[in-house]
Amino acid sequence: MMVITFIFMFVIGNMIFVSKYKHLLITLLSLELIVLSIFFFMIYMLSFFSYEMFMLMVFLVFSVCEGALGLSIMVSMIRTYGNDYFQSFSLL
């Protein structure tokens, strides 16, 4: 039952990421939901097979760095363009 919950979280995160691409904040939150579901799934599987949890610490470090990088990009985008719409600025 727990595995179904993790898969459901992963699928919902992917659906939000694909469908709500207008705002940067929503896409960052959906990426964090995906990372959280993968983290919970790794905890469940590693404890089920009674492996070490060291890989989870490495995974958490990379996910925190990813979140901080996304927030810094969003802050610089809001300071430059005034909002977090992808359609408000031109890539040219």
Find the domain containing 30 and state its range: 2-81
pLDDT of residue 88: 67
Beta-carbon neighbour count of residue 73 at 10 Å? Answer: 13
Question: What are the DSSP calls for 30-86, one per residue?
Answer: HHHHHHHHHHHHHHHHHHHTT--SHHHHHHHHHHHHHHHHHHHHHHHHHHHHSS-BS
pLDDT tens column, 25-65: 888 999 999 999 999 999 999 888 888 888 899 999 999 99
Q: What is the CATH number of the domain that holds 58?
A: 1.10.287.3510
pLDDT for 7 equals: 92
Whether 86 is covered by a domain: the verdict is no
Q: Copy the structure tokens of residue 57.
A: 């610490």
Answer yes or no: is pLDDT of 92 > 70: no
Domain count, the chain: 1
Q: Is residue 91 part of a domain?
A: no
In a domain? residue 92:
no
State the pTM of this model: 0.84
Neighbouring CB atoms inside 10 A of 34's CB total 19
Q: 90 in a domain, yes or no?
A: no
Residue 21 lies in a domain: yes
pLDDT of residue 10: 94
Residue-wise pLDDT tens digits, 14-23: 999 898 778 8
